[in-house]
Copies of this chain bind each other. A is one copy, B any other.
Amino acid sequence: MDRTSPTSITRPIGFRAAGSTCGIKPSGKPDLALIVSDTPCTAAGVFTTNKVKGAPVLVSQKHVRNGKARAIVCNSGTSNVATGEQGLRDAEAMCQTTAAALGLRYPSEVLVASTGVIGHRLPMDKVLPGIEQLAPTLAQGKKADNAAADAILTTDLVRKTALRTVTLGGKTITLGGICKGSGMIAPNMATMLAFITTDVAIDSKPLKLALRAATSETFNRLSVDSDKSTSDSVMVLANGQAKNRAITGPGRVFDRFVETLTDLCRDLSEQLIWDGEGVTRIMRVRVSGAASVKDADRVGRSVVDSPLVKTALHGADPNWGRIAMAAGKSDAKLKKDTLSIRIAGMSIYEHGQPTKLGLKPPAKLAKAMAAKEVQIEVDLGLGKASAEWLGCDLTREYIHINADYTT
């Protein structure tokens, strides 16, 4: 896998992109993006599990059901969530206008995503003309990649892109991805959007399986603030232009593709957590010894979501008891007498007993807690399942950003 290429979303063969300002955001920042394949694609999506789903999520779920799509239209600034029947009509209208502007036969060939404030109607008098004006500017190359990547951001501070190539059956396959954060980020698709293009030839069923496998180990195991957005969507378009022998099911080639897709998603995930709202340092929580992967996930999530662990991380405070508290409050099977905790490789709690380091945390532990990335290991000592989670600190800046967002 090559990780060093400079641009992303239009590097796979046969994709074009565009991004611009149609006027949704009062700031005048870019707010409309288009990603299009020149030829038909297999497509897959993974969407928020929140029961209050945004209209674009409902529409995209419907459009992707047949495993086919060719374009993605996305606006930022307003999420088109909790907007009732009107919201559904607006999301459908975005697909219709995009299809018409691109000369596609069916609006269902278009997937749609919106991100931003909840509960406001989209300014359709800006969005629809915006799409018509944007379509003729679709292009390949760095400028187009960056324009699309910028137009999907909300409170994000930096653009997030990733690129991977892999050789499958003698053909070079390229995958490009862009994503946005940066608050309301939690397991099972928090406020995040990720769009992935690839020129691999793959059937829709294995593409769906591959996307599920990749997201479950990456986007679904990170949390900025434990809130789960109503808009989260990860979408992939695969147009087959790399001319590999099509992947039709399980096997070595499929596994290699999943591995590459997972690696791309992990890259985007890490960019996403680092750009979490107000984040100054991150934690990588490795849970092992769990009775099941589900239990490992419960403990991982509980630790990265705990406000007291997050503030201890922020304060570089080796107050490891909070990690024990957070592990213990989860629903996972857990016995105090088999629980062990390590920070930055230092054992501080072993089988329910504090170690010498735990009883009197030394300066080197405080120093380790002050690193940009802190490694926390929680060994439940009960089984063989494990999971790795990414979390971040909770800061005054997070509160500043979120106490003053709409008004």
Contacts and interface: CB of A to CB of B under 8 A. Distances in A.
Nearest to A328: B52
A306 interface: yes
Contact of A120 (B359, B400, B403): B359
Interface in A364-407: 366, 394-396, 398-400, 402-407
A85 interface: yes
A317 interface: yes
A405 B50 contact: no
A308 interface: yes
Nearest to A227: B308
A217 B69 CA distance: 51
Contacts of A305: 226
- Number of copies of this protein chain within its complex: 2
A319 B118 contact: yes
Contact of A324 (B81, B366, B402, B407): B81
Interface stretch (A124-132, A239-247, A254-262, A332-340): A332-340
Interface of A is mostly: loop
Given A121-B359, A308-B184, A315 B404 contact: yes
Nearest to A183: B308
A297 to B, nearest CB: 15
A358 B327 CA distance: 39
Interface stretch (A39-47, A105-113, A348-356): A348-356
A81 B323 CA distance: 12
Interface residues of A, number: 68
Contact of A317 (B82, B120, B315, B407): B407
Contacts of A183: 308
Contacts of A314: 399, 403
A373 B13 CA distance: 57
A119 B402 contact: no
B354 A83 contact: yes
A104 interface: no
Interface in A207-227: 225-227
A192 B27 CA distance: 45
Nearest to A407: B317
Nearest to A226: B307
B184 A325 contact: yes
A50 B403 contact: no
Interface string A80-91: 011111000000
A59 to B, nearest CB: 14
B52 A325 contact: yes
A227 B307 contact: yes
Nearest to A314: B403
A252 interface: no
Contact of A320 (B119, B306, B324, B334): B119
B406 A317 contact: yes
A402 B321 CA distance: 13
A52 B324 contact: yes
16 contacts: A51-B329, A52-B327, A52-B334, A53-B328, A82-B336, A118-B320, A119-B324, A119-B358, A227-B308, A230-B325, A307-B394, A312-B402, A315-B405, A315-B407, A319-B406, A396-B399
- Nearest first, the 5 closest Cβ-Cβ pairs linking A and B are A118-B321, A315-B403, A52-B328, A84-B353, A311-B402
